Amino acid sequence: MRIRVSLVITLLVLGLLVSCHPTAGTGGKKTVKVTILPEYSLELMAGKYMDLINYLARETGYRVEYVSSLSYSNYLSTVEASKADIGFQNALIYEILVNTRGAYPLVQAIGSNGSRTNRGIIITHRGSGIHNVSDLKGKRVMVASKKAVSGYLAQIAECAEQGIYPDRDMWIIIGTQQDQVVRKVLQRDVDAGFVREDVLPAVAKLMDVSNIRIVQHTKYFPNWVVSAFRETDLEVASKVREALLKLNEEDPEHRRILQLLGLKGFAQSADSDYEEVRKIATRLALPF
């Protein structure tokens, strides 16, 4: 009953975020549905993305509706059920959507450091006794999703290079969001966690991460991609692309939006930008 009540409250809050939003008015405007992979809990997601949703509505002239998903695991079904027009997700989930919904890239995120790539980290509690990848054998390792690029694929690629494989050598525990992974590691409910590198500074706003130790950094992988889908109106795709490419740090309002996103901006993108993710997912036998 407690879980059911919690879920209802969460859904009500999500509904208020959209229905009370300035973009949710009527007036005959075309509705554009945007989905964003829920890497964080509701509180962090709302704070990070709602200014962007507002901006897209003003810049495109559409009624922009943020269609929320509660976790990585139901993101794909949310995209499908809502018939979303635009998706913002990692490269592996983008590849799945290429196959299921004819996704194609509009723009790619540019990190605050100016890079179009990011990397993952393997984290543990300072008192865990885990100091390197080989120490993960027999340990409980939490991830937000097996579809996370820098929160799963990147780390298991590192482990595989050292002869350590998920499910065979580690207990992989599936969570919901990346901030939950950090919290569970801090509480020592699990021995280690896989998250993206920029998650630690983001969650530091909500929790003390001083007892987190980074065991290893992974190789770099492509940043998130904003995509349209097979059924997306071409004019909608074009206007959203133009609005995102227009964001720049010299404009005070744009700078605030980008700072909340933890980005420097967006750049033109092509499907070939994600080829490396396809290759590694295939090598590790990850379905996409």
pLDDT at 60 over 50: yes
pLDDT at 27: 59
Catalogue all structural domains in the chain, each as residue range(s) with its CATH number. Answer: 2-114+223-283 (3.40.190.10), 117-221 (3.40.190.10)
Mean model confidence pLDDT for the chain: 90
Mean pLDDT of 197-226: 95
Q: What percent of the chain has pLDDT over 70?
A: 91
pLDDT at 110 over 60: yes
Mean pLDDT of 247-265: 96
Q: How far is CA 191 from CA 165, 171, 201, in A?
A: 16, 10, 21
Query: Which 3-state string (H, E, C) describes 222-263?
Result: ECCEEEECCCCCHHHHHHHHHHHHHCCCCCHHHHHHHHHHCE
pLDDT at 209 over 80: yes
pLDDT digits (tens, 9 = 90+) for 3-45: 343 433 333 344 434 433 444 444 578 999 999 999 888 888 9
pTM: 0.84
pLDDT at 49: 95
CA atoms within 13 A of residue 110's CA, in its CB half-sphere: 15
Single out the residue of 247, 212, 244, 184 nearest to residue 41, CA to CA.
Answer: 184
CB-based burial label for 108 (10 Å; 0-12, 13-18, 19+): buried
Mean pLDDT of 120-132: 97
| Band of pLDDT at residue 68, cut at 50, 70 and 90 | confident
CA distance 81 to 101: 12
pLDDT digits (tens, 9 = 90+) for 150-168: 999 999 999 999 999 998 9
